[in-house]
């Protein structure tokens, strides 16, 4: 079965039914040719269909919806002695409320039965369990605590809510929570918990507020080309870059670093300026001493603010950290803002939000440290101070099955880039 989860949505412009990938905020309607960006008040919410045998109960208003988290991303932990950065793909469905027993999941049901994008459900209970807490509980929390975990991060996650239909039954054997979706089960409940659930179901709910933004450039009104999973969109007409913030698009500064040749492709990196005085990283040359103390410091780095290059596209855990380290330490190319239209159109989409890149900053520093036993415990108790950020588009050349950055010699497997787009 495909890793892609597919859902149905209703176009707010023409009312037509649109097929979308679960978690993608871009809605492209094939009927009215409209491209919209979905701006929800919270995570995107979908609902599972009701099983045929429970449709009469649904019409009678006997069903309600309980939330599950669907989390897909890279789970990183820094643990061990000496500390190591360890990461792996996380893809789970887990309860988002205490009314669902811990350990429950939806299995393959969201793939087998098409979900429906649902801005607001009047009978839905909102999530009360934080997704980060759920994620690390599901991925072996006890194991990592025993190994002396210093800190953890969930990076680049697709975070959605799946509202699943349920019904509460008072049977001779006691209270039962029945899963009213296909292949649902019966779960025994105490009278106390059942009473609490009834009160929560009957409590008036506040409707969710969703906004649909047309994909047009705020600067020149030219159409912004949609890309699956993109969190920043590029205008080919006026050469600007935009990301979603609040209820509107905000302009994001960008530069192109290096010379672009025919056949090259631009890859986006978040170039994040920061200081970490708690571990003595106050200028760019300190990054060399932190990572490669035997390497001569490039001229001028003593006067520059330290900055990391965090990939703005998704990769496997080890490749993501390796590329971030290599580009941070080896990147010294001139920057400019001239960009051919062709290069803008063919650039690798920005799929990692800026805030996720900031979350990865401490992880990248831990990975880069050459004296992990001494540096990383100190790093764990401080938070670097971010002073600025921009997108840096860097040209790579396709050589056989790898994307190569010729000035530094850094290579990224083309297969890793393709697989990363689905994370």
Three-class SS of residue 111?
helix
57-72 residue pLDDT tens: 999 989 999 999 998 8
Question: What pLDDT score does 370 carry?
Answer: 95
Cα angle vertex 164, ends 16, 56, to 5°? 80
- Confidence bin at 323 (pLDDT 50/70/90): very high
Q: What is the pTM of this model?
A: 0.87
pLDDT band at 142 (very low <50, low <70, confident <90, very high): very low
Residue 134's pLDDT is 73
pLDDT of residue 261: 83
* pLDDT top residue among 341 and 111: 111
Would strands 248-251 and 240-245 be described as parallel, antiparallel, or unpaired? antiparallel
At 408, is the pLDDT very low, low, confident or very high (cuts 50, 70, 90)?
A: confident
Burial readout 405-417 (b: 16 or more C-beta within 10 A, e: otherwise): beebebbbeeebb
Q: Is the pLDDT of residue 177 over 90?
A: yes
Q: What is the pLDDT of residue 1?
A: 38
**CB neighbourhood size of 291 (10 A):** 18
> How far is 250 from 212, CA to CA, in rounded Å?
15
Per-residue pLDDT of 183-219, as tens digits, reads 999 999 999 999 999 999 988 887 777 888 899 999 9
- pLDDT more than 90, % of the chain: 52
pLDDT reported for residue 50: 94
376-405 pLDDT per residue, tens: 999 999 999 999 999 999 999 999 999 999
Question: What pLDDT is attached to residue 120?
Answer: 77
Which pairs from 26-29 meet CB under 8 Å and 24+ separation? 26/215, 26/226, 26/227, 26/228, 26/230, 27/212, 28/226
Q: What is the DSSP string of 236-271?
A: TTTTEEEEEETTEEEE--EEEES---TT-EEEEEEE
Question: Beta strand pairing status for 265-275 and 211-214?
Answer: unpaired
pLDDT band at 340 (very low <50, low <70, confident <90, very high): low
| pLDDT of the residue at 176 | 94
CA distances from 381 to 2, 7, 151, 185, 371 (A): 41, 42, 9, 45, 16
Most confident of 252-256, 257-261, 364-368: 364-368
Q: What is the mean pLDDT of residues 299-307?
A: 92
Q: Please give the pLDDT value at position 3.
A: 61
Distance from C-alpha of 90 to C-alpha of 94, rounded to nearest angstrom: 12
The three-class DSSP label of residue 207 is coil
Give 258's pLDDT tier (boundaries 50, 70, 90).
Answer: confident
> What is the chain's mean pLDDT, rounded?
88
pLDDT at 14 over 80: yes
- Has residue 81 got a pLDDT over 70? yes
Q: Largest alpha-carbon pair distance within the chain? A: 80
The predicted model gives 332-355 an average pLDDT of 77
381/339 Cα distance (integer angstroms): 41
Question: For residue 307, which of 374, 358, 235 has the smallest C-alpha distance?
Answer: 358
Note whether 193 and 386 are within 8 A (CB).
no
**Section 155-167 average pLDDT:** 91
Stretch 27-47: mean pLDDT, rounded?
88
State the Cα torsion 273-423-102-151 to the nearest 10°.
Answer: -30
């Amino acid at each position: 079965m495909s890793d892609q989860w597919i859902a149905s949505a209703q176009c707010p412009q023409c009312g037509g039914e649109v097929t979308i990938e679960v978690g993608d905020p871009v809605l492209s309607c094939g009927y009215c040719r409209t491209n919209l960006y979905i701006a929800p008040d919270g995570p995107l919410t979908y609902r599972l269909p009701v099983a045929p045998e429970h449709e009469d109960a649904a019409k009678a208003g006997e069903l309600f919806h309980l939330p599950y988290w669907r989390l897909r991303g890279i789970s990183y932990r820094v643990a061990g002695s000496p500390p190591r950065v360890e990461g792996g793909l996380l893809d789970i469905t887990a309860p988002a409320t205490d009314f669902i027993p811990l350990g429950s999941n939806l299995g393959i049901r969201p793939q087998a039965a098409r979900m429906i994008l649902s801005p607001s459900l009047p009978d839905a209970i909102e999530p009360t369990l934080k997704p980060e807490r759920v994620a690390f509980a599901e991925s072996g929390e006890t194991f990592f605590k025993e190994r002396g975990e210093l800190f953890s991060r969930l990076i680049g996650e697709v975070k959605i809510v799946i509202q699943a239909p349920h019904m509460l039954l008072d049977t001779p054997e006691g209270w039962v929570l029945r899963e009213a979706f296909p292949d649902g089960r019966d779960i025994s409940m105490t009278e106390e918990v059942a009473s609490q659930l009834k009160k929560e179901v009957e409590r008036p709910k506040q409707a969710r507020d969703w906004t649909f933004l047309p994909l047009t450039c705020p600067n020149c009104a030219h159409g912004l080309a949609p890309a699956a999973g993109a969190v920043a969109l590029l205008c080919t007409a006026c050469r600007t870059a935009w990301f979603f913030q609040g209820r509107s698009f905000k302009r994001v500064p960008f530069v192109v670093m290096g010379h672009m040749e025919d056949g090259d492709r631009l890859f986006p990196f978040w170039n994040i300026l920061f200081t970490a005085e708690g571990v003595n990283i106050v200028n760019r040359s300190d990054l060399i001493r932190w990572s490669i103390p035997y390497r001569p410091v490039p001229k001028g780095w003593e006067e520059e603010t330290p900055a990391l290059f965090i990939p703005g596209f998704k990769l496997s855990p080890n490749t993501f950290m390796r590329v971030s380290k290599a580009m941070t330490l080896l990147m010294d190319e001139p920057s400019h803002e001239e960009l051919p239209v062709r290069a803008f159109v063919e650039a690798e989409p920005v799929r990692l939000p800026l805030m996720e890149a900031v979350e990865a900053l401490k992880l990248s520093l831990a990975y880069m440290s050459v004296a992990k036993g001494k540096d990383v415990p100190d790093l764990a108790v401080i938070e670097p101070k971010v002073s600025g950020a921009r997108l840096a588009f860097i040209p790579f050349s396709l050589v056989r099955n790898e994307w190569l950055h010729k000035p530094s010699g850094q290579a990224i497997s083309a297969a890793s880039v393709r697989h990363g787009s689905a994370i």
